[in-house]
Structure 1
Amino acid sequence: MPSIRSIALAVSVALFSASALALPTTHNCHESDAQAVGETYEQAASLCRDLVKNTNVGTFMTVMNGEKGPQLEGYPFGSMDYYVDDCQNSGTPLLLLSHLQINMHNIKSNNKASLAVRRLPKEGERGNPMMDRRVTLIGHLVPVEKSRHAEVEACFVAGHPDAKWWLPGSGFHDFAWYTLEVESLYHIGGFGGIHHIGWIDVDTYKNAATSSAPVETRFRVQY
């Protein structure tokens, strides 16, 4: 006659096997064709568009040249900057930058740059920023054609009214218009396995639909 211990062990093994069979198939959230619990690849591209369109502040990054000393050459450098979503080319960041900035000193040698954008917390909001969506746009910084200056000025000031004080020609430093021509982007929707994490094709990003709904309310998974 089997002992109580052997019966208990057999029951435990049976329960474990049944629960293992019931587990859903997992996906690698770092693959471009993977589907996370929170959003699909296409939905993630749409959320990136919304984030870029609605945030308007990001960390602009370049590669240090040897101008400030050979010991710094090749290191990444980043600082916070205003930007807006280009009104005529949505999905492309439009920036107003001073040639006095370290980033612009670096651009003279290498116009490769990136812009990291994350959802900004509301006043008084508390939470874990690691749960928030963020995206890094990678590309080349390109001067805006002179024929577009009046148009981009209106677009930029609509997003940042205080920028009217340092527009080109205002006499405040040496600002000029640039766009970051996006060639690649990396999205982090939150914690892996719950949200999409990975590279998003630029065409998919540019063609993705945008929404007027706040980014944090779309496909939000509660932890």
Structure 2
Amino acid sequence: MANTPEKSTASASDLRRMCRRSHAAVLATTAIGHKQVGDGWPVASMVVPAIDIDGAPILLISELADHTRHLKADARLSLLFSGSDNPSNATSQIQTDTARLILFGRAIADTSAAVRNRYLLAHPDAAQYADFADFGFYRVDVEAAYWVGGFGKQRRLTGKQFLIDDCDALKEGHDQIINHMNADHLDAIADIVAHETDHANDLGWKMISIDCDGMVLGTDLPESPNIRIEFPHPVHAPTDAQQILVEMCKKSRDLKA
């Protein structure tokens, strides 16, 4: 597996990847009608976001939850992602045991099929309750990001710097890319797994999803969890994704030769 060089600070891609690898986040909202504290108090809760193709968090939350009522009155929120959430996938200097990222934004209710599908690709078990009448999807309009990587390491970005704002073509072509790779290029996926990870490449890996920063692969074996493979640089369109996948496959096969 290729080694990742150490960095002294975090790029926007690094921070999006940190979010994508996190299993959960802490959501901070402003209390409205809370049973225990007065209006205006900061209230923290745990949520399980999915991250959209461009890096925006997607939430699936219940109307019965305090934080949902708060967001309906005041859409502003903060989301805290911890670097210790998935240490086995941490990148040195960027995602450490003490690293944390705060996203500031506004929760916007979104009933589109694209947002629903994106969330369920990341969390398929949520399909059991996603269509309950009291549950709804919210996409977070990110306005700012603040990363702390440890003592003396920090970075502040605007929402426009954090998100990829020109990947509509990738969103529209997502399913076509997945179908094409799984129908015609399973051998290429296996070669990339062999080169980029420590996982066995003969487990029948298929592409589950793709985004501007990388792809998620899975197998039909219940004991084999999904894995994420990062791209060396962001992609914005299906043609970019095709080119980078060809390059990754060629590199893996050149090293095998």
Q: Same fold (TM over 0.5)?
A: yes
8 Å CA contact 1:131–1:191 kept in 2: the answer is no
8 Å CA contact 1:130–1:191 kept in 2: the answer is no
Map of 1:52-71 to 2, 5 A cutoff?
52-68=19-35, 71=37
Q: Which residue matches 2:118?
A: 155
Q: Which residue matches 1:186?
A: 146
8 Å CA contact 1:85–1:93 kept in 2: the answer is yes
8 Å CA contact 1:93–1:180 kept in 2: the answer is yes
1:53 Cα deviation (Å)?
A: 2.1
Separation of aligned partners in 1, 2:145 and 2:157: 6
1:86 Cα deviation (Å)?
A: 1.4
Separation of aligned partners in 2, 1:162 and 1:178: 18
Match of 2:77 among 86, 96, 113: 113
**Greater RCO (CA < 8 Å, at least 6 residues apart):** 1
SS at match of 1:68: coil
8 Å CA contact 2:21–2:86 kept in 1: the answer is no
| Amino acid in the other structure paired with 1:60 | L
Structure number with larger C-alpha Rg = 1
Q: Does 1:205 align with 2:162?
A: yes
* Structure 2: tracts of 5 or more residues without a match: 1-5, 89-94, 166-211, 215-228, 232-257
| Amino acid in the other structure paired with 1:39 | S
1:74 Cα deviation (Å)?
A: 1.4
Q: TM-score, normalised by structure 2?
A: 0.55
Separation of aligned partners in 1, 2:102 and 2:145: 6
What are the Cα deviations for residues 40-78 of structure 1, in whole angstroms up to 9, with x where unaligned?
Answer: 4xx432211111222242111101124426x43211111
Map of 1:74-93 to 2, 5 A cutoff?
74-87=40-53, 90-93=54-57
8 Å CA contact 1:59–1:80 kept in 2: the answer is yes
Match of 1:98 among 53, 62, 81: 62
1:190 Cα deviation (Å)?
A: 1.9
| Amino acid in the other structure paired with 1:201 | T
Separation of aligned partners in 2, 1:91 and 1:210: 9
Separation of aligned partners in 1, 2:156 and 2:162: 10
Q: Does 1:168 align with 2:115?
A: no
| Amino acid in the other structure paired with 1:94 | I
Q: Which residue matches 2:99?
A: 133
SS at match of 1:108: helix
What are the Cα deviations for residues 74-100 of structure 1, in whole angstroms up to 9, with x where unaligned?
Answer: 11111111111113xx11101111011
> Which contiguous aligned blocks of 4+ residues in structure 1 show a shift greater than 6 angstroms?
none
Give me the CA root mean square deviation. 2.7
What are the Cα deviations for residues 80-121 of structure 1, in whole angstroms up to 9, with x where unaligned?
Answer: 11111113xx11101111011110121222111111111314
1:154 Cα deviation (Å)?
A: 2.0
| Amino acid in the other structure paired with 2:163 | K
Percent of paired sites with the same residue: 25
